Structure 1
Amino acid sequence: MATDALSAYAASTAATTATSTAKTKTNAMDMDDFLKLMVAQLQNQDMYNSTDNSEFMAQMAQYSMVQSLTELTEQSKTAYSVSLIGKDVTLKEAGTDGSQNIIMGKIDGVSLYNGETKIIVNGNSYDMSDILTVSQSE
């Protein structure tokens, strides 16, 4: 039965998650969380009024699509930031008094640490959202 396979998957996922110490905790659900919820729903459903399997398959397909689009967005953001290396940029930076400071310089590199994409200009790290203009270096 389908619930046996899902229960086995949930058990193996729980064991893998328990032994993994590198996983960072976020507020976003991942596929493992989604499958755990689905297994719990299957285990606790009313046996006289069971849920249609096609609904679960549709939900899994939708979740998989959203997850793939999220990964594609992150890869595009990374590729875009790397393509900016060597270009001149104008950035905005919030001052300590709330004023906006304008910084101009050449993008020396990109930091992809901990899932955050930041550009490095004049030895300092800035968010991609701080970019005002980008131009070709001469």
Structure 2
Amino acid sequence: MVTSIDPSLLISNKSNTISTGNSSLGKDEFLKILMAQLQNQDPLNPMEDKEFIAQMAQFSTLEQTTNMSSLLEKFINTQTQSDSILKYSEMIGKQVEWKSTDDTGSGIVKSIKQSDTGIILELDNGEEISSDSITKVSMAE
């Protein structure tokens, strides 16, 4: 008796479209693949210890790299914000001239503060100006 294979099951009849979600694998996807591999392994020929340990080391490395990237990003953001206010703090006690779209003026910087829009300089006359509008800085007279 000869058994024939249904031609619709041949690989050549299948479409070549490959559907992928995200182009990069994160730690969650890696862990899912590892768990699926462990659940579907052949009980008579299980994964060797060396392979399992290597995969767990890769997972641990991936997790640590992700954590380090997140911490580095937070550190850079903190440094950027701190540097701005420290940089402008050198202007305290100095004479500044400023120009905005509808006004110009000058005064001595009394204090510096950070707002959502950027660095704000408070002058000795109580006026507050944005650091972006400063045109000249000089020694106070």
Per the alignment, residue 131 of structure 1 pairs with 134
Cα deviation, 1:27-58, whole Å, max 9, x if unaligned, reads xxxxxxxxxxx89x47x834226883322211
Tell me, yes or no, if the aligned pair for 2:85 and 2:113 is still in contact at 8 Å. Answer: no
Alignment correspondent of 1:45: 32
Contact 1:110–1:119 at 8 Å: present in 2 too? yes
The residue that corresponds to 1:76 in the other structure is: 83
Measured in 2, the distance between the counterparts of 1:115 and 1:53 equals 40
Residue 120 of structure 1 corresponds to which residue in structure 2? 122
Percent identity, please. 15
CA–CA distance in 2 between the matches of 1:92 and 1:45? 59
Does the aligned pair in 2 maintain the 1:93–1:103 contact within 8 Å? no
Q: How does 1:101-120 map to 2 (within 5 A)?
A: 101-112=103-114, 117-120=119-122
Instruction: Indicate the SS of the match to 1:117.
Output: strand
* Whole-angstrom CA distance in 2 between matches of 1:115 and 1:52: 41
Q: CA RMSD in A?
A: 3.1
The answer to whether the aligner puts 1:87 opposite 2:75 as a matched pair is no
Distance in 1 (CA, whole Å) between partners of 2:64 and 2:135 is 44
TM-score of the aligned structures, taking structure 1 as reference length: 0.54
Q: Which runs of 5+ in 1 are unaligned?
A: 1-37, 96-100
Q: 2:70 aligns with which of 43, 63, 67?
A: 63
Following superposition, the deviation at residue 88 of structure 1 comes to 0.9
- State the 1:102 CA deviation: 2.5
For the residues of structure 2 that align with 1:71 and 1:45, how far apart are their CA atoms? 34
- 8 Å CA contact retained: 2:118, 2:131: no
| Matched residues, number | 95
Q: What code does the residue aligned with 2:110 have? A: D
Q: Tell me the equivalent position of 1:5.
A: none
* Richer in helix (by share): 1
**One-letter amino acid of the counterpart of residue 136, structure 2:** T
